[in-house]
Amino acid sequence: MTYRGGGAGPEPEPEPDPDPEVLEDPGSGVEPGDSGAQRSAGGALVLVGTPIGNLADLSPRAVQALEGADVIYCEDTRHSRKLLTHAGITGASLRSLHEHNEDDRIAEVLRSVGGGRTIAVVSDAGMPGISDPGSRLVGAAARAGLVVTVVPGPSAVLAALVSSGLPTDRFCFEGFLPRSGKDRRDRVASVAHELRTTVLFEAPGRVASTLRDLAEACGGERQVAVARELTKLHEEIWRGTLADGATWAEERPLRGEVVLVLAGAEEVEEPPVGDDVLAAALAERMASGERTRGVVDDIAAAFEVPRRRVYDLALTLRGTIGAPMGADAGAGSLRPPE
């Protein structure tokens, strides 16, 4: 996957497509909504995971899928040609599909797959659709009844998570935080209260400020791992507290792709509800003449405590309130709990 803004310099503009007419096939007779025709045509949309840094991580199955594709859609055709050359794949037909033109490409891809072609989709690194183009295309293909299949590959999210030393049994992925304003404050606050381990992407120049913001919201002692340049020559994983991490990031220039793995918030147990709180709630309701049985049911549900406990308190209160309690005033009117 491409970490937006994660490189040392600005992302290059995509290369113009060398074969803009390659997918035009108006005579196929298959409309995007005709799922039965599409399935029988034998076409498929294949999402291919690519290396996040080390080209040796390109799997044999990924090479086979790319070799067999009629057309390969990619973020930057220049970047993908280098990968294909490394894999020994020549003569591939490449088309660009990036964040600025994905919506414009959807119809032609559906038409092509519907006509029986195999279309591969790759991002510059990692899995298409994860903080990268591809998710809208896949959604449209699924709605149209087209075959969508995946060739899994390296994942920066999972690589950072399993190397972080933080709990991996439950985790969530937040992608990039908003850069500023209320949206950023709200997302940071949400992350601070998340009980699961959280994985985030960040550009190297913003790591220090993001760690400072997280430290302010989570507390400086919350644990974090900063994974940089995963699978590459200068791979680095820093582990420590948010406060120390912010200082570490401020004192040295960071380069390359960065993933943050944040420990989840500690679960805070709600303090037990005291009898005085329950008794006060009972007294207020019972003194107004409400039916005692209904009051007991309501308060037990509201405070999430056993009905028997509220019932016993109500029995005690009946002898001290000293005033009739509506329809429950007679002896035995307070029914025992079920």
Tens of pLDDT, residue by residue over 225-242, are: 999 999 999 999 999 999
Q: Residue 268 has what pLDDT?
A: 72
Q: Residue 5 has what pLDDT?
A: 35
Q: Residue 194 has what pLDDT?
A: 96
Please give the average per-residue pLDDT across 117-135, as a whole number.
93
Q: Residue 77 has what pLDDT?
A: 93
Q: Residue 267 has what pLDDT?
A: 82
The answer to whether 89 and 40 have CB atoms below 8 angstroms apart is no
C-alpha span between 51 and 53 (Å, rounded): 5
Q: Residue 3 has what pLDDT?
A: 45
> What residues pair up with 175 in beta bridges, in sequence order?
200
CA-based max dimension of the chain:
94
C-alpha span between 159 and 230 (Å, rounded): 7
Which of 4-8, 55-59, 116-120, 172-176 is the least confident region? 4-8
pTM for this entry: 0.69
User: Domain 26-154: which CATH class?
Assistant: alpha beta
Q: Residue 319 has what pLDDT?
A: 65
- With 70 as the cut, is the pLDDT of residue 158 above it? yes
Cα dihedral sign for 212, 213, 214, 217? positive
Average pLDDT, the chain: 84
Q: Residue 221 has what pLDDT?
A: 97
Structural fold of domain 167-262 = 3.30.950
Residue where the block lists tokens 């405070």: 303
Q: pLDDT digits over 301-311, tens only? A: 998 889 988 98
Q: Residue 41 has what pLDDT?
A: 54
Which of 59-73, 105-119, 156-170, 255-269 is the least confident region? 255-269
Three-class secondary structure assignment of the chain: CCCCCCCCCCCCCCCCCCCCCCCCCHHHCCCCCCHHHHHHHCCEEEEECECCCCHHHCCHHHHHHHHHCCEEEECCHHHHHHHHHHCCCCCCCEEECCCCCHHHHHHHHHHHHHCCCEEEECCCCECCCCCCCCHHHHHHHHHCCCCEEEECCCCHHHHHHHHCCCCCCCEEEEEECCCCHHHHHHHHHHHHHCCCEEEEEECHHHHHHHHHHHHHHHCCCCEEEEEECCCCCCCEEEEEEHHHHHHHHHCCCCCCCEEEEECCCCCCCCCCCCHHHHHHHHHHHHHCCCCHHHHHHHHHHHHCCCHHHHHHHHHHHHHHHCCCCHHHCCCCCCCCCC
